[in-house]
Structure 1
Amino acid sequence: MSKREGVKAGSSTLLILSSMYKSLTKTEQKIADIIKQEPDTVVYSTLTDLSEKARTGDTSVLRLCRKLGFSGFQEFKLTLAQELVTTSRNVHSEIEEGDNLTTIAQKITLENKMFLENTFDLLDMKELQKAIDAIGKANKIYFFGVGSSANTAADAKHRFMRLGFNTELVTDSHVMAMSAMLMEKQDVVFAVSTTGSTKDIVDAVRLAKSNGAYFICLTSHAKSPVTQYADAVLLSCSKESPLQGGAFKSKITQIHVLDIMTTAVALQNKEKAYRAIERTSKGIIDKLY
């Protein structure tokens, strides 16, 4: 069985499908909707069964399977069936008006736990290692983010600075464009964009890539516009409607990825990181009682 390129071995097919959803054609989205809504039924369906239910052609189903990295419908079904058997499918209730504070806290905790587990399933270790290696060799690391994603980018800048790296946070679109034009091959740009479709970010990283900078993106959509320029794509689980931009769940999963990444970078660059942590700690010691 051929495994999906660019997707972590063992990643949930349904998670990957959700991550790629916005980049699919309308016809492929119709097929994807059925797969997500009725995965147990799909594993017992034929290619024609699924195409007829979605009111599409067989070739559209095959095209979707190949976009997901499978050689055909049978391989897709087999993998999906295995995941449905081995994966514990937790269903968490929506918060209701009559819920007391304890119930609300329990539901949010369980849902956040599920999002963290799903982020681990989405995170490709090969992509993560590429990002870690690039950061270790970087002359300077630029962190890009706008809106709510700027807060995550600021956290990343602060953490890498304390590990001894030359860092800069850029959240203004004009400064992003100017910084991108001044970047060189030894520089790394790390952009945070939950949707992966923020025009200011996409425009800036395109300029940075034209100057040879290495580009890492942290996003929740595997085939979003920003990923076409990325040298390394880090995926985090997110569930935001247009009215929920900046949801805390997105931030929690992004910070989780950064926690994994910075820890690994520190271990891989141990002497530099530990020396910097000691020096920066001494620098702020008189700021505390």
Structure 2
Amino acid sequence: MSLQSTGSKAILWIESNYNFLTKTEKKVADVVLQEKEKVVYSSVTDLAEMADTGETTVLRFCRKLGFRGFQEFKLAVAQDLASSVEEVHGLPKKGDTIADIALKITATNTQALKDTMGLLQHQELEKAVDALVTKKKIHFFGVGSSGFTALDAHYRFMRLGFQVNSAIDAHLIAMSCALAGPDDVVVGISTSGSTKDLVDAISLAAANGATIICLTNHARSPITQYAHAILLAASKETPLQGGAFSSKLAQIHLLDILSTAVALKHSETTAAAIEKTAKAVIDKLY
């Protein structure tokens, strides 16, 4: 039986149609009803673990309620919780002065960086650095906002003298991953860790023997099951905030740490590459 969701009334539909759910789907529903705020910031894997079920059950639950998938369901829950993302996150509100807005945003971004440092596992960073300096080619992939982070990473590592590729188009990512092998490092960037186009492609690269590094906000998300090294950013965002700048700053911060560690490990080679690339564009500047 497929229920029809209307607007953003996800919670209402769960309560109204609870008796139509299977036993395992009711476990998911119970968690959602009791932990609405937590669910908004969770991955599909997180919710499955919270409900002591599988990811397939969570997806079936979402579809039974009329949603196309977990992300659409989360969006509806977020809309139920608040009329605006500002109320969910405690961010600037209408009526705040410019000074208030600046202070609140600065506090949010500063906290995101501090929390990211708190999550940083040195062993995971070391594994990522070792892979980047020993393999022949590096690939940075991301979809949507995370795709632009992948392009930033491509630029930085190219300046350091590495053979680098990047893609933000789902088809190019899939084809690149299908051709990746044991001599390649594939860095998948996804705030949610659940972007299907990216996760499916990463699975191809992993099956081919490529080393996988993932940069995500969720330690337990579909992309991490393929990762040899996991770099965690701490900034939270609801489905209403896709591409939030605080998430972007946390990602860039981790890439800055990663690229600096790589550059210092191979300082002679990277110093020469930085000089060459700088000279290549020097006549482009006044």
- For normalisation by structure 2, the TM-score amounts to 0.70
Per the alignment, residue 224 of structure 1 pairs with 221
Q: Could you list the runs of 5+ residues in structure 1 that have no partner in the other structure?
A: 1-16, 31-91
The answer on whether the counterparts of 2:43 and 2:193 sit within 8 Å (CA) in structure 1 is no
Change (3 A) 1:147 1:24: closer
Query: Which whole-Å deviations, capped at 9, do the CAs of 1:185-237 have from their partners, x for residues lacking one?
Result: 11100110000001111111111011110000000000100000000000001
Aligned twin of 1:242: 239
Alpha-carbon separation, structure 2, partners of 1:270 and 1:26: 44
The aligned counterpart of 1:131 is 128
1:149 to 122, 146, 150: 146
- Change over 3 Å in CA distance of 1:140–1:21 after alignment to 2: closer
Aligned with residue 28 of structure 1, among 23, 28, 50: 50
Do 1:163 and 1:277's aligned partners in 2 also have CA atoms closer than 8 Å? yes
Of 253, 258, 261, the match for 1:261? 258
Taking a change above 3 Å as real, the CA distance of residues 252 and 160 of structure 1, as seen in their structure-2 partners, is: same
Match of 1:170 among 167, 172, 175: 167
Structure 1 range deviating more: 173-182 or 278-287: 173-182
Q: Return 5+ residue gaps in structure 2 as ranges.
A: 1-38, 53-88
Q: Secondary structure at the match of 2:239?
A: coil
- The one-letter code matched in structure 1 to 2:179 is L
CA distance in 1, matches of 2:266, 2:239: 40
* Maintained 8 Å contact 1:21/1:29: no
Tell me the residue number matched to 1:39.
Answer: none
Asked if the contact 2:46–2:221 (Cα under 8 Å) also holds between the matched residues in 1, the reply is no
* 1:243 partner SS: helix
**What SS class does the counterpart of residue 231 from structure 2 fall into?**
strand
Q: What is the rounded CA distance, in whole Å, between the counterparts of 1:121 and 1:226 in structure 2?
A: 21
Report the TM-score when normalising by structure 1: 0.69
Task: Give structure 1 regions of 4+ aligned residues with deviation exceeding 2 angstroms.
Answer: 17-30
Paired letter, 2:276: R
SS of equivalent to 1:99: coil
The one-letter code of the counterpart of 1:130 is K
Tell me the equivalent position of 2:64: none
Q: How does 1:31-110 map to 2 (within 5 A)?
A: 94-110=91-107
CA distance in 2, matches of 1:217, 1:27: 20
How far residue 29 of structure 1 moved from its aligned partner, in angstroms, is 6.2
C-alpha spacing 1:21/1:199, structure 2 compared with 1 (3 Å): closer
Offset at residue 180 of structure 1 (A): 1.4
Aligned twin of 1:215: 212
Shift in Å, 1:24? 3.4
Q: Which amino acid aligns with 1:96?
A: K
